[in-house]
Each structure stands twice: as structure tokens, then as C-alpha cells.
Chain A
Amino acid sequence: MAAYIESNDVTEEKKQFIAVKLSSEIYGIDIGYVDTIVRMQKITRVPKAQSYFKGVINLRGEIVPVMSIRLKMGFEDDVFTNASRIIILKIEDQGKLGVIVDEVKEVVNLGEDEIDKPSHDAKENKHSFINGIGKNGDELISLFDINAMTEEN
């Protein structure tokens, strides 16, 4: 019984992240921002938009812009597979935004002590989209700074 209570206490302090795969790395998205996850679907291109915007999709009657995290971070373009997903984020005051990931792995719980500050100096890399490194057992998860990600480059 005592053990149960103890573990329960710990969970309360833990934050939940959706672990997703991009290239070979695992990234974490704070579940508080996640509205829903949908399968890859037809994306309508918007001319003259920023290059990292793939376009817009119809999410149950709502128009939602879809961004490529890969392009935003300067990686090579997405290759859509059966595992590709669009994670719909809900950003305060700005509405919904979809981001494309290669694969959704799992939901992980990370406590304060399991999250480290990013290893690099913030001044060195102004366009960092990572605001923490999570340790899930042996695995390292780069945690996205959602605000930095939704800002203009």
C-alpha cells in the first residue's frame, strides 16, 4: 500500500509527452498542446506560403495549416509512409496547427528529474526548437519548445 501511494505521488508531478520519430531521432511533444492525431491525408498546397508549410487540410470541417517540422528545422523533406501522422496542436490565441511526424511511438511520463536542460548553449543556436532532453530509460527524447516551433524563422 505504501508503495502504491508513493508511486502515485510521483506520477502527479510527471509531465506527459507524445514520443514521435523524425529521421532517426525521438522527439517529445508536450501532451498539453496536442489536440488530436490524424493519419496522413491530402494536403492542399498554399501558394506563396512559407516553404515549411505543406499546406492546409480539412479537419472535420475546419481548415488547419500543416507544417513540416523537418523543413522548419532544416532537415531534408518528409517522405510520407504508412506510419506518417499529422499531430494537431492547439496553440492559444492562434488556433490549430498540424505538424508532420514520421511515426508516433508512445506516450511517456517524465518527472522533473528526468528532464535536463538542452546540452548546447542557447546563445550559440538561436533557432533551437528544443527546450529540454528527457531520459526515458536508456532512450533520450528531445523535447520540443512548441512556442519556438510556431514562431516565424
Chain B
Amino acid sequence: MEKTIANTVLKVNEEGYLTDFSQWNQEVGSAIAQEANIGMTARHWEVIAYLQREFKNEVPLSIRRIGKSGVVDIKEFYQLFPMAPLKTASKIAGIPKPVSCI
């Protein structure tokens, strides 16, 4: 699927996650955040940058790992990205929806 975000045509999946991380930039991230009613602050971007680093290192993301990362604790993570923080933050970060092992 394609979607126009921040005046750019982007490849996304049916849930709106970017499928090509190279298309991501901060404007794209801001626009996705806006759709989720999240006003991005410097603190938000710090967390996003951390998620992107982990993604590039192929470290699977989980709420638990983020809580122990030293970057942000789980409580604050929820305050920054309410409801389903990992999913919302991953979408803003332009990385795939985290898979929970089943």
C-alpha cells in the first residue's frame, strides 16, 4: 500500500506501519504522531531514536526490554505514548510493528 504522509508518498502496510525504513524522516514521524494525537517533544524523539537504534541492531523490542534500557522507564513510556506505547512509538519511528512471540 501507499500513503501520502507529510507530502511524501510512502510505502506502508495495512496498519499504517512504514515498510521501508529508508523513507523515514522526522517530518514523517511528526505527521504519524499527529494522526495518533501525540505532540512530539525532545523527550519523545529521544525514545524514538533509541527504538530505531535497537531496530537497526536487530534487537527484538518488548515493553520489558525498554523498561530496563535505562533510556525510559515503563511508566514514562506510557505517559509519552498512551494506551499501546510500543505499537504507537514503533509506527512513529517508522519501524515494523513489534512481533510478540506466540
A and B from one assembly?
no
Chain B residues with CB under 8 Å of chain A are none
